[in-house]
């Protein structure tokens, strides 16, 4: 008998290699309908189909549609942090299954997937980009091409922790660039990231892609902060 399979979160025995314990899966705060047709924020139960949240009505995102698999809390927060700081790639495979379910329509319409890029110096220090892991896993599940080379972060930005949406927008303004406009022009791009906080990073990426001629930019994240005003990540 080989080593027993263990849950990547609790490290307790589970039924298959890399599988989450049933209790963990049951406790994961998946986002369900109704949610904002634009940013994916959960809405009150009586919201009409295709309704948007107040924030999107007032100040729309550059990203056309954002979908997230889970709220950034509890187990979903544990998984996201374990992937980001613990380097557990198996969690990206689990997360990608949830993301595919949350964003099937966006995936179907996308010409290619693009992970939110890290600055080369941060990538060198960490050794991996968890957004790229998620994009690669999602590409395998959906059959869509993954282009991690087209969008780059040309400026290293300070941590976004504790900043407001406006502060985050200023922080990432002009931080991204494209490497090949011809590969982007006329295409619909699906950005992939681990956590959505205010959407400032995704919007800065989207603006860069749209200026390069993309016909539309959507985004899919593993988790999203449901109350951005209390975010400290």
**Footprint of Zn ion on 139-168 (CB under 5 A):** none
How far apart CA 13 and CA 23 sit, in angstroms, is: 12
| Cβ within 8 Å of residue 44, ≥6 positions away | 34
CB 114 within 8 A of CB 148: yes
How far apart CA 112 and CA 186 sit, in angstroms, is: 12
| Residue 41 CB, nearest approach to Zn ion (Å) | 5
71 binds Zn ion (CB under 5 A): no
Percent helix / strand / coil, the chain, rounded to 5: 40, 20, 45
Nearer to Zn ion, 85 or 227 (CB): 227
Nearer to Zn ion, 39 or 92 (CB): 39
- Using alpha carbons only, give the angle 7, 95, 156 rounded to the nearest 5 degrees: 115
CB 136 within 8 A of CB 125: no
Which residue in 7, 31, 53, 137 binds Zn ion (CB under 5 A)?
53
| Residue 47 CB, nearest approach to Zn ion (Å) | 11
Q: Name the 3-class secondary structure at 123.
A: helix
Tokens 């681990």, located at residue: 194
Q: Which stretch binds Zn ion (CB under 5 A): 23-31, 51-59, 70-78, 106-114?
A: 51-59
Q: Which stretch binds Zn ion (CB under 5 A): 56-64, 114-122, 153-161, 207-215?
A: 56-64
231 binds Zn ion (CB under 5 A): no
Query: Comparing C-alpha atoms, which of 223, 184, 225, 186 is closest to residue 205?
Result: 184
How far apart CA 66 and CA 31 sit, in angstroms, is: 12
Nearer to Zn ion, 47 or 123 (CB): 47
What's the length of the chain?
233
Which residue in 39, 94, 192, 214 binds Zn ion (CB under 5 A)?
39
Which residue in 7, 9, 31, 36 binds Zn ion (CB under 5 A)?
36
Beta-strand relationship, 188-196 and 151-153: unpaired
41 binds Zn ion (CB under 5 A): yes
| Residue 39 CB, nearest approach to Zn ion (Å) | 3
Nearer to Zn ion, 56 or 118 (CB): 56
Which residue in 31, 56, 191, 195 binds Zn ion (CB under 5 A)?
56
Which residue in 7, 9, 31, 38 binds Zn ion (CB under 5 A)?
38
Query: Comparing C-alpha atoms, which of 130, 105, 128 is closest to residue 115?
Result: 130
- Interface contacts to Zn ion, rule CB under 5 A: 36, 38-39, 41, 53, 56
């Amino acid at each position: 008998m080989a080593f027993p399979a263990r849950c990547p979160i609790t490290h307790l025995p589970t039924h298959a290699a890399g599988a989450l314990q049933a209790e963990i899966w049951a406790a994961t705060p998946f986002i369900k309908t109704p949610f904002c047709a634009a940013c994916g924020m959960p809405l009150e139960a009586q919201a009409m189909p295709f309704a948007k949240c107040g924030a999107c009505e007032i100040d729309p995102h550059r990203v056309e549609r954002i979908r997230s698999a889970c709220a950034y809390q509890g187990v979903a927060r544990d998984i996201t942090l374990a992937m980001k700081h613990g380097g557990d790639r198996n969690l990206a495979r689990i997360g990608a299954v949830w993301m595919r379910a949350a964003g099937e329509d966006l995936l179907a319409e996308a010409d290619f997937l693009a992970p939110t890029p890290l600055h080369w110096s941060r990538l060198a220090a960490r050794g991996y980009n968890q957004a790229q892991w998620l994009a690669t896993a999602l590409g395998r599940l959906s059959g869509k091409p993954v282009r991690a080379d087209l969008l780059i972060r040309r400026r290293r930005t300070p941590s976004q922790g504790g900043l407001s949406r406006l502060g985050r927008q200023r922080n990432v303004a002009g931080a991204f660039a494209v490497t090949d406009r011809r590969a982007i022009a006329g295409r619909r791009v699906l950005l992939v990231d681990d956590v959505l906080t205010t959407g400032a990073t995704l919007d800065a990426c989207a603006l860069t892609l749209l200026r390069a001629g993309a016909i539309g930019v959507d985004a899919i994240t593993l988790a999203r902060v449901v109350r951005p005003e209390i975010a400290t990540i």
